Amino acid sequence: MEDAFKVQLPLLVARKKKPGNFRKQNFDHLEVSFTRSNRGNNLLTIDGKPFTLNRRIKDVCYWECVKLRCKYIKCSARVLVANRRGGKNLIFQGHMYSVERKYRNSINWVCSKNSNNALRCPARCVTSSDTSTAIKLSHRHHNHPAGSFKLHKRSSRHRNVYKKNGFTIIDGYRFVIGTTNLRRTYLKCANFRSNCRARAIVNRDTNKVRMRHEGHNHSRKDVLAQYVRSNRGTDLVYHKGNTYTPNEKLREGQKSRDWKCSMYHKAKCRARLVTRITSGGDIIHVTSNLHTHPAMYTSQKMESQILLTWKQLPIESIYNANGKLMDIIPNIQIIQGQRKSVQLMFAKFAYAKNNQRGNTIYWNCRSRRNGKHPCNARLSISRLPNGLYKVCLSQPEHNHPPSKRLCRKYD
């Protein structure tokens, strides 16, 4: 049978210094024979290594190694580790695989880097569902170096967990329910629409919380909304050097509102945020921070002009001249004067900014220099770490009636 075929291997050539000159190697010393596989197919054996028929073109047959498409490896150097979701991952030859599909007698694995949008590693393997150590590797190779995975350890530290306003607060971050079953409740960060990947699992029997992923892409502190008014009288939100216009009309009973960047039409900016009404003030939740333009307000002078609000300030407490806490908290607003100055409206009286020390701003009555008898009414507001304000009335008495123009405008 061997005499009927002439076996030719791909010639291994060595290039000389001069181009166009090659040296051919001789393969007459190789042992060539023909055998049959278990299925009755013809096999070409060269030095004990089998080759199977790939294709036939006229009188020429092309052969390929039987291990090319399906590699069966008997190797015990593999490890099954637990992942963050409670499942199993396979580690083999420095690469990690995750379960792609399960069958009765086998398990299909895919490289854990397959979900990486930048890599999309196509490598796969198949293992037997029993205790056998056989691994079947696909012909697709890894497109990344080995050892590029990280083993995640479960954190056992104590976490501060409580519920508030329909949210589950874990270490200061708000979580909402993603899915639930009889034994577990799967939580996701309330900022999941901003691509925050933080996840947690709550055991419904023991109420124990375990973090699946702790990587928040935002701070845990709530940012209070700062409102301004445009030249045309439109309500705007100022946030980090940019203003936002309302994207929808505020309906009765609505507790949140969508806003879009003021450069939406001019620069086709797609930045968005949402304001949520709470007892401590309106809180900002940024849904998209991708601006297509530089910051609208950069200098401190322009920021001081834009940080003028006619909305009610979030007040935590008010103290009278004797230092006692008042039970009734009236409305306090920061408004813009006729000359674009910063003024404060308190109990229908207007105050002008006098001085600032740290987080405390001191205000005097706007009418202190008008008339023969100046008004000595004074107060101060201090911003607390929680974003609320503390008001101290050092001189609450006025010697004049409130301005009728301001009462008509801001009542």
pLDDT tens column, 174-229: 899 999 988 899 999 988 877 888 899 998 888 888 888 877 877 766 677 877 77
Q: What angle do CA 236, 408, 347 make, to 5 degrees?
A: 85
Q: What is the mean pLDDT of residues 370-380?
A: 79
**Segment 48-72, tens digit of pLDDT:** 788 888 888 877 788 877 766 655 5
Q: Which of 4-13, 221-230, 288-297 has maximum average pLDDT?
A: 288-297
The predicted pLDDT at position 280 comes to 61
Q: Which of 61-65, 127-131, 176-180, 387-391 has maximum average pLDDT?
A: 176-180
Q: How far is CA 399 from the centre of its chain?
A: 56
The predicted pLDDT at position 361 comes to 87
The predicted pLDDT at position 15 comes to 44
Q: Name which residue leads in pLDDT, 95 or 408.
A: 95
45 neighbors 58 (Cβ within 8 angstroms): no
The predicted pLDDT at position 244 comes to 93
Q: Which of 46-55, 150-159, 381-390, 400-409 is predicted with the least confidence, judged by mean pLDDT?
A: 150-159
Give me 385's structure tokens. 């770490």
Q: Which of 124-128, 176-180, 303-307 is predicted with the least confidence, judged by mean pLDDT?
A: 303-307
Q: What is the mean pLDDT of residues 300-311?
A: 52
Q: Which of 75-89, 333-347, 351-365 has maximum average pLDDT?
A: 351-365
**Segment 74-118, tens digit of pLDDT:** 555 567 777 766 678 888 888 889 888 888 888 899 998 888 878
Q: What is the mean pLDDT of residues 35-57?
A: 82
Q: How far is CA 366 from the centre of its chain?
A: 47
Q: Rounded to two decimals, what is the model's pTM?
A: 0.38
pLDDT band at 153 (very low <50, low <70, confident <90, very high): low
**Segment 231-254, tens digit of pLDDT:** 777 788 888 888 999 988 878 888
Q: Is the pLDDT of residue 141 over 80?
A: yes
Q: What is the 3-state secondary structure (H, E, C) of the chain?
A: CHHHCCCCCCCCEEECCCCCCEEECCCCCCCEEEEECCCCCEEEEECCEEEEEEEEECCEEEEEECCCCCEEEECCCEEEEECCCCCEEEEECCEEEEEEEECCCEEEEEEHHHHCCCCCCCCEEEEECCCCCEEEECCCCCCCCCCCCCCCCCCCCCCCEEEECCEEEECCEEEEEEEECCCEEEEEECCHHHCCCCEEEEECCCCCEEEEECCCCCCCCCEECEEEECCCCCEEEEECCEEEEECCCCCCCCCEEEEEECCCCCCCCCCEEEEEEECCEEEEEEEECCCCCCCCCCCHHHHHHHCCCCCECCEEEEECCCCCECCCCCCEEEEECCCCCEEEEECCEEEEEEEEECCEEEEEECCCCCCCCCCCCEEEEEECCCCCEEEEEEECCCCCCCCHHHHHHHC
126 neighbors 108 (Cβ within 8 angstroms): yes
pLDDT band at 156 (very low <50, low <70, confident <90, very high): low
The predicted pLDDT at position 12 comes to 41
Give me 390's structure tokens. 């503390």
Give me 166's structure tokens. 């329909």
Q: Name which residue leads in pLDDT, 8 or 56.
A: 56
392 neighbors 382 (Cβ within 8 angstroms): yes
Who's near 156: CB < 8 A, 6+ residues apart?
Answer: none
Residues of the chain above pLDDT 70, percent: 77
Whole-number mean pLDDT of the chain? Answer: 78
Q: Which of 4-18, 276-290, 331-345 is predicted with the least confidence, judged by mean pLDDT?
A: 4-18
Q: Is the pLDDT of residue 269 over 90?
A: yes
